Amino acid sequence: MSNIVLDDLQLVPRGAVDQNSQPLNAFSVDVEEWFQVGAFEKTLNREDWPDLESRVEQQTNKILKILDQHGVSATFFCLGWVAERHPALLRSIADAGHEIGCHGMDHCRIFALSAQAFEQDIRRAKGLLEDTSGSSVVGYRAPSFSMNSDTWPYYKLLEKAGYLYSSSVVPAKTDHYGMKGLPRVPFYPINNSNFVEVPMTVAQVGGTTLPASGGGYFRLLPQFLSYFLMNKAYAQTGVGNIFYMHPWEIDPDQPFVREAPLVSKLRHYSFQSRMAGKISKLLTRGRFTRIDHLLADQFSVEI
Ligand SMILES: [Zn+2]
């Protein structure tokens, strides 16, 4: 395990935080197919992916419609795999005023890739996303938040490939991902560099650190609990919520993978029909924007 030295390289929000004002949050979408998730990795073979029913375009369009109804711009971290097969989708996301970010080529966790393979992956995906969307890509999100202390040197490869920020860590240990002890606000993961890591939001409750960034937690938890955790995180850090979701989370009609483990099925399929309504309510209650705009507005980061 390599050591991580962060010194005091955490970014602080510009100006004093007014606890009574509405925080500016970021909304992000990890654009991937329903069959590319960790929940089904032991059940569905990657070789069979091309034969499975593609639903990413229609579900992402649903999210675009909800965001449009609320006048919200967001960041869409897209797989190169999706860009190759659905170039028109990439164009419509960008044309609607959203930021295109990179989620890697085909959802491999990055600790499973050698440095050389990782570099190829992020460069190839960036090229594909930029060519199809017509906009530049400066943000990256590791599949399944798989950045860890062993892959920390990969930040330099991201910077070298032209990325300016990443949003790839959860500063809490969960059963699937996360690292304890990381800053809970944006920070510089590389010494003497302006490259920024925007960690996912977590809240401290008692002695426990809990994810408060959306995704499955937002879909599965009662709404009052999600809002409690998000409000708590803001009160504790002064930084708005970094929210994320997936297109497959608002798709109650997607194929059912009977052979998957029971816990994976419960997590993946539960409450999908309620998600669109929950998202609309969230966007009505809070202020949201793209991650690059949040960095520019709150932290004076030049993107
Ligand atoms: Zn993902």
Confidence class for position 104, pLDDT limits 50, 70, 90:
very high
* Gap from CA of 33 to ligand 1 centroid (Å): 9
What tens digit of pLDDT does each residue of 28-59 get?
A: 999 999 999 888 888 889 999 999 999 999 99
Per-residue model confidence (pLDDT) at position 18: 62
* Gap from CA of 14 to ligand 1 centroid (Å): 30
Alpha-carbon span 125 to 120, nearest angstrom: 8
Per-residue model confidence (pLDDT) at position 19: 60
Per the domain annotation, does 204 fall within a domain?
yes
* Gap from CA of 204 to ligand 1 centroid (Å): 25
Confidence class for position 261, pLDDT limits 50, 70, 90:
confident
* Gap from CA of 138 to ligand 1 centroid (Å): 17
Per the domain annotation, does 16 fall within a domain?
no
* Gap from CA of 30 to ligand 1 centroid (Å): 5
Per-residue model confidence (pLDDT) at position 287: 95
Q: Which of 108, 98, 148, 103 shows the shortest CA–CA distance to 125?
A: 103
Q: Which of 40-54, 69-83, 233-247 has the highest mean pLDDT?
A: 69-83
* Gap from CA of 302 to ligand 1 centroid (Å): 26
Evaluate if residue 2 carries a pLDDT over 70.
no
Q: Which of 178, 221, 176, 175 shows the shortest CA–CA distance to 202?
A: 178
* Gap from CA of 78 to ligand 1 centroid (Å): 9
Evaluate if residue 1 carries a pLDDT over 50.
no
- Structure tokens that stand for 134 in this block: 């017509």
* Gap from CA of 267 to ligand 1 centroid (Å): 15
* Gap from CA of 229 to ligand 1 centroid (Å): 22
Per the domain annotation, does 82 fall within a domain?
yes
Assign residue 91 the CATH number of its domain: 3.20.20.370
Confidence class for position 209, pLDDT limits 50, 70, 90:
very high
Residue 203 structural domain = 24-299
Ranking 10-14, 33-37, 278-282 by mean pLDDT, the lowest is: 10-14
Per the domain annotation, does 32 fall within a domain?
yes
Domain count, the chain: 1
Per the domain annotation, does 156 fall within a domain?
yes
Gyration radius of the chain's alpha carbons: 18
